[in-house]
Amino acid sequence: MTRSDKELYENQILRQYEKEMVAKHKKKLGFSHFTKEMRRMSETRYDELEKMILEKTIRELQTAMNSGQFTSVELVTFYLKRIEQYNPLLNAIIELNPDALKLAEDVDRDRKKDKGKTLLSGIPILLKDNIGTGDKMHNTAGAKALEGSRLKKDAPIVKKIKEYGGIILGKTNMSEWAFQMSSNGVNGYSALGGQAKNPYGLFDVGGSSSGSAVGAAMNLASVTIGSETCGSIIYPA
């Protein structure tokens, strides 16, 4: 690491922690659509699921669901409880899909009928908030200027995920505008998401796919997706 690189790195850490900007327009995550299922899941069941879900591959999760060890509804609920617990500290998630549990119920119904089984069936996935979805969620790139923005159709990758039964659980925080509007931004900071934090300690969270990286590290979903231009996935990963 050159002296210049070291100074840039130390400056990022300083701005992310000691001189963290206050996000006056930060969105509050809404759990009202999920309260019933989240309360229904006991601590004992959560602990059982933790052993079956954390750090597992998609294939391992599918095997478990196909053998009846847990349902997609339980899988989604498990991640929602983790998000509720850890996101206030990490600011990894910017919005949740209000239809996530309904979609999981549909997959579980099809699974019982031995219909529609694919590798992604019932798998909860988090998307970086610059990847468009034509549903009830917003598409903001973390920017206040796009706070109410919604799209009429899904991005190609989202369309494919839905075709194969994947469940978009929510949107992840990011370096606002993916650094396209500034050359001196703070990694992982956005007006609507606040400052994403590195779960391993007082280290640079990286950017611009900051929330997706944190979500993967903390098992906040089975899959997290970012976007890459010039290190936006590579660095935070």
Q: How much is the pLDDT for 115?
A: 86
Query: Poorest-confidence range of 168-177, 192-201, 225-234?
Result: 225-234
Q: What domains lie within the chain, and their CATH numbers?
A: 25-225 (3.90.1300.10)
Q: Please, are residues 130 and 121 in contact by the beta-carbon 8 Å criterion?
A: no
Nearest to 142 by CA among 98, 188, 99: 188
128 is known as an active-site residue: yes
Task: Record the pTM.
Answer: 0.96
Pick the catalytic residue: 72, 175, 208, 222?
Answer: 208
171 is known as an active-site residue: no
Q: What is the mean pLDDT of the chain?
A: 97
pLDDT tens, residue by residue, 21-58: 999 999 999 999 999 999 999 999 999 999 999 999 99
pLDDT tens, residue by residue, 128-150: 999 999 999 999 999 999 999 99
175 is known as an active-site residue: no
Pick the catalytic residue: 27, 72, 121, 128?
Answer: 128
Q: Provide the 10 A C-beta neighbour count for residue 31.
A: 14
Contacts of 172 (CB under 8 A, 6+ apart): 92, 93, 94, 126, 127, 128, 129, 209, 210, 211, 212, 214, 215, 224, 226
Pick the catalytic residue: 209, 210, 212, 232?
Answer: 232
Hey, which residues does 191 pair with through a beta bridge?
A: none
